[in-house]
Chains A and B, each alone.
Chain A
Amino acid sequence: GENVEQHPSTLSVQEGDSAVIKCTYSDSASNYFPWYKQELGKRPQLIIDIRSNVGEKKDQRIAVTLNKTAKHFSLHITETQPEDSAVYFCAAAGAGSYQLTFGKGTKLSVIP
């Protein structure tokens, strides 16, 4: 089955700096890669996703990049703000599997 590794497990940045979270996956057939943000005590919320036919996708301050050859994808947050502080999860899934496999999460702290 699919295995997703996520790094780092914790990340602290100064407000206004950029943050990068990286994930690797094992199944070369995987073709869907979402990112979820979970604030303390809240539900995970989908913030951005990318399909395997796209190398990069942006949404305001958030971007995701995908390298299918190397089997890794990354979340980039620019101009970080205190409200970006949360746990971020990456996930991967392949067509026909019906299942998302999640990484273990990255706790991002943005220091004012």
Chain B
Amino acid sequence: NAGVTQTPKFRVLKTGQSMTLLCAQDMNHEYMYWYRQDPGMGLRLIHYSVGEGTTAKGEVPDGYNVSRLKKQNFLLGLESAAPSQTSVYFCASSVFWYEQYFGPGTRLTVT
């Protein structure tokens, strides 16, 4: 039982490049979330999903897209990376909207 996993762990992008972050959970959770964490800013919600095939915007959705084609996976895409998207990205999942369990994080640097 791996819990919540994220791929990749680290990534460096150049401005304008695109990439996809993968979050996977093996706990059969309905709810999944993507957060970004910046120094002194806490955790800010980017997008979330309340079930397979659903997505919704969080607090800071601009510049990101998401998809939940399978219940166990939640993908976060950056179509055209910008230096302001340099951050640590955390995925989380939960049975309901509370008791969220986090993945190990992806450290993304955009130069």
- Residue positions of A touching B, CB distance < 8 A: 1, 6, 9, 32, 34, 36, 42-46, 49, 89, 91, 93, 97-105
Residue pair A43, B42 in contact (C-beta under 8 Å): no
Is there contact, CB below 8 Å, between A89 and B97?
no
A103 touches B42 (CB 8 A): yes
Known contacts A43-B102, A43-B105, A44-B90; A98 and B42 CB within 8 A of each other? no
Question: B105, A105: Cβ atoms under 8 Å?
Answer: no
Q: How far is the CA of A91 from the CA of B98 in the complex (A)?
A: 10
B43→A44 contact, CB < 8 A: yes
Residues of B within 8 Å of A104, CB to CB, are: 40-42
B residues engaging A (CB < 8 A)? 31, 40-45, 48, 50, 56, 58-59, 90, 97-105
Given A44-B90, A49-B98, verify A99-B58 contact (CB < 8 Å): yes
| Residues B98 and A32 in contact, CB atoms below 8 Å apart | yes
Residue pair B98, A34 in contact (C-beta under 8 Å): yes
Do the beta carbons of B98 and A93 come within 8 Å of each other?
yes
**Shortest beta-carbon contacts, A-B, top 4:** A43-B102, A104-B42, A102-B42, A98-B97
How long is the Cα–Cα vector from A93 to B103 in the complex, in angstroms? 20
Given contacts A34-B100, A101-B45, 20 further A-B contacts (CB under 8 A): A9-B40, A34-B98, A36-B102, A43-B102, A43-B104, A43-B105, A44-B43, A46-B99, A49-B98, A91-B43, A93-B97, A98-B50, A99-B45, A100-B43, A100-B97, A100-B98, A100-B100, A102-B43, A102-B44, A105-B40
